[in-house]
Amino acid sequence: MIELVGVHKSFGSNEVLRGIDLRVESGTSMVIIGGSGTGKSVLLKCVLGLVHPDRGRILLDNEDVETAERDAFLARFGMLFQGGALFDSMPVWENVAFRLLRGATKRPKDEARAIAIDKLRRVGLGPQVADQFPAELSGGMQKRVSLARAIAADPEIIFFDEPTTGLDPIMSGVINDLIREIVTEMGATAMTITHDMTSVRAIADNVAMLHRGKIRWCGPVSEMDATLDPYVQQFIHGRAEGPIEALR
Amino acid sequence: MSLLRPVAALGRATLGALASIGRIALFAGAVIGHLFRPPFYPREVLHALMQIGWFSLPVVGMTALFTGGALALQIYSGGARFSAEAVVPSIVAIGMVRELGPVLGGLMVAARVASSIAAEIGTMKVTEQIDALVTLSTNPLKYLAVPRVLAATLAVPVLVAVGDAIGIAGGWLVGVYRLDFNSTTYLKNTVDFLEFWDVGSGLVKGAAFGFIVALMGCYHGMNSGRGAQGVGRATKTAVVSASVLIFAANYLLTEIFFTS
C-alpha cells in the first residue's frame, strides 16, 4: 500500500503540491488525472524519491520512503516514462534487461537476454527487435520497449507517466490494454498519470483528480461519471467553460 | 539607492561564483569517493577510454605535429638574433613535454570530450534517462560520471605522451628538412637535454587536465537546463570552464613543480 500524508512541494515560489493525501491499496490501479502543470509528474517523482517533498510523509507498506533502504525500495518499482527514456547507446534487449545485468538482481548475460526477449514478446514485439537500437524504432514500439523494461524484474509496483502521449488512437488502445493485462496478470499495484480519458477508463480501478496541488476528488472509476464535482465534470468532458481556468 | 546597484550586482555575482565553486568541489569529492566504492562499471570505463583516448589521438597528434614544427621555426628565427640557433632541438623538446604537449592536448580534449560528455549527459537528463537510471537502482553519478572521469584521467597522460613524441617529431622534420639541421645531432640534442621530470611533470599535468575535462563535462551535463537551449548552454559552459581551469591548473602545477 502506498500512502501520502500532507505532501507539500514547492519550486522557488511555485507551490506545486499543497498537501496531498492519497492512499493506493495493494493490487489496485490508481489513475491520477489533472491538467498540465498541476503537479502529477512531481507527485510520482516524490514517491520514487526522484524529488524530495518539503513536508509530509510518503509511506510504502507503512514504512517511510525517505528512511527506507534505497536499493531494496527501488527494486520493488518499475516505471514507464512519458518519453520512454530508453538508453539510446545500448540495444533494445540491454535496455529491457538493464536491471538484470547489474546490481543485486544480476543474472548471467544469456539468461538476462532470454528474459528480455520474453518481456518483449509479452508487449507484442518479436525477438528481431532485441538487437535494434531505440532510435530505429517508432514511438509506439519505444513505448512498448519501455513497458517491457518496467516489468522486466517483475516489480510489485508500476508507475506509468502519460503512457499514451504522442501515440495514435489505435496504438494508445494497444498500450492501454497491455497495461491493464500486465497489471492484472502480475497482481501489481499501479499508479498512472494521464489526461487521456480513454486511458483512464481502460486502466483505472480508482481515480484521483489533482487540481492546484491538492486532490480535488478521489473515488472508484465507476463513480467518476456520476460525481457532481464541477471540476471533475469539466475535466472528463473536456469543457472549456467551468471552474478550471483555461489559458487562452 | 541606484548607486548601490552595481555593488549589489557584484555581490550577487561573487556569491553565485562561490556557490558554483562549492557545488563543483562537492561533485568532485563525490566522484572521487565513488571511485573506490563498488559497484564498478569496467565496461563503461573501457568504452569511455576508447571515446576519450583512442578517438582523440588524431586531433591531439595533428595539433602536436604542427605545434612542434612551428615551435622549431620560431625558436630558430628568435635564436638567430643572438646566434643561438643550436638550441632548437632542446627547446622544442622541453617546450613540448613541459608545456605545449599537456596544455594543447588538454585543450583539444576539452573541446572534443567535455562538449560531447556535457551534451550526452545533458540530453540524458532532458529525456529523463537519468531519472530512469535511478528507478533502475543505478546511481547516475557512479554509472555516468565516475567511468568518464577515471578514463579521462588515465587516457589524457597517454595522449600527452604521444603528443609529445609527435610534437618533437614535428620539430625534427622542420629542423632537418627546412632548417638544415643534421638529423643525428638534432636527435642527440633532444635526448641529451631532456630530463625525466620534464616528461613526468607533463604527464602529471595531463592526468590533472583529463580529470578537469571529464569532471566539467559531467557536472555541467548533469546540471543542464531544460530543452535544446539548456543542453547547448551546458555544453558551452563545460568547454569554457574546462579550458579556463586547465590554464589555472597549469600555472599552479608549474609553480609547484619548477619553482622550488
Q: Which of B217, B32, B207 is nearest to B106 (CA)?
A: B207
Residue B50 belongs to some domain of the structure: yes
Query: Amino acid letter at A146?
Result: S
Q: Give the alpha-carbon dihedral of A9, A151, A196, A161, to 10 degrees.
A: 20
Domain that holds residue B111: 40-258
Nearest CA in chain B to A157: B135
pLDDT at A21 over 80: yes
Measured in degrees and rounded to the nearest 5, phi and psi for residue A16 equal: -85, -50
CB-CB under 8 Å, B39 with A103: yes
Q: Domains in chain A: how many in total?
A: 1
CA distance B222 to B214: 12
Q: Calculate how close chain B gets to A73, using CA atoms only, in Å.
A: 9
A50: contact with B, CB 8 A cutoff: yes
CA distance A213 to A230: 17
pLDDT at A248 over 50: no
pLDDT at A68 over 90: no
Residue B106 belongs to some domain of the structure: yes
Q: Which of B201, B225, B211, B236 is nearest to B100 (CA)?
A: B201
Residue A182 belongs to some domain of the structure: no
CB-CB under 8 Å, A102 with B138: yes
A87: contact with B, CB 8 A cutoff: yes
Residue A22 belongs to some domain of the structure: yes
Q: Using an 8 Å Cβ cutoff, are B202 and B102 in contact?
A: yes
Where does residue A85 fall: left (phi above 0), alpha (psi -120 to 50 degrees), or beta otherwise?
left
Length of chain A: 248
CB-CB under 8 Å, B127 with A98: no
In sequence order, which residues have a C-beta less than 8 Å from that of residue B225 and are 6 or more positions away? B231, B233, B234
Query: Taking the alpha carbons of A139, A144, A150, A153 in that order, is the dihedral positive or negative?
Result: negative
Cα within 13 Å of Cα(A234), Cβ side: 14
CB-CB under 8 Å, B131 with A77: no
pLDDT at position A165 is: 84
Q: Which of B50, B60, B74, B95 is nearest to B190 (CA)?
A: B95
Give kind and range of the element (H or E) at residue A72.
helix A70-74
pLDDT at position A246 is: 65
**Which residues does chain B have within 8 Å of residue A74's beta carbon, measured at their own beta carbons?**
134-137
CB-CB under 8 Å, A102 with B135: no
Residue B35 belongs to some domain of the structure: no
pLDDT at position A123 is: 86
Write out residues in chain B with pLDDT < 50, as ranges.
Answer: none
CATH number of the domain residue A228 falls in: 3.40.50.300
Residue B18 belongs to some domain of the structure: no
CA distance B203 to B198: 9
Taking any CB pair shorter than 8 Å as contact, residues of chain B touching chain A are 39, 124, 127-129, 131-132, 134-138
Q: Domains in chain B: how many in total?
A: 1
Residue B196 belongs to some domain of the structure: yes
Q: Which of A28, A61, A15, A3 is nearest to A192 (CA)?
A: A28
**Which residues does chain A have within 8 Å of residue B138's beta carbon, measured at their own beta carbons?**
98, 102-103
The ipTM, to two decimals, is 0.87
Q: Using an 8 Å Cβ cutoff, are B85 and B79 in contact?
A: yes
A104 or A239, higher pLDDT = A239
CA distance B15 to B9: 10
Residue A108 belongs to some domain of the structure: no
Q: Give the nearest partner residue to B137 out of A74, A83, A88, using CB atoms.
A: A74
CB-CB under 8 Å, B127 with A79: no
CB-CB under 8 Å, B129 with A103: no
Q: Using an 8 Å Cβ cutoff, are B154 and B35 in contact?
A: no
Residue B17 belongs to some domain of the structure: no
Residue A220 belongs to some domain of the structure: yes
Q: Which of A184, A189, A183 is nearest to A26 (CA)?
A: A189
- Under the banding of pLDDT at 50, 70 and 90, the label for residue A244 is confident
Question: Rg for chain A (alpha carbons), in Å?
Answer: 18
Q: Which of B156, B117, B148, B129 is nearest to B250 (CA)?
A: B156
Residue B8 belongs to some domain of the structure: no
**Which residues does chain B have within 8 Å of residue A70's beta carbon, measured at their own beta carbons?**
137
Domain that holds residue A17: 1-73+203-248
Residue B101 belongs to some domain of the structure: yes
What does the pLDDT look like over A117-137, one tens digit per residue? 999 998 889 999 999 999 999
CB-CB under 8 Å, B129 with A86: yes
CB-CB under 8 Å, B131 with A99: no
CA distances from B248 to A68, A181, B205, B212, B213 (A): 43, 60, 11, 11, 13
Within a 10 A sphere around the Cβ of A225, how many other Cβ atoms? Answer: 11
What does the pLDDT look like over A153-195, one tens digit per residue? 889 999 999 888 878 888 888 889 888 888 888 889 999 999 8
**Which residues does chain B have within 8 Å of residue A77's beta carbon, measured at their own beta carbons?**
135
pLDDT at position B116 is: 96
Q: What angle do CA A200, A63, A100 make, to 5 degrees?
A: 70
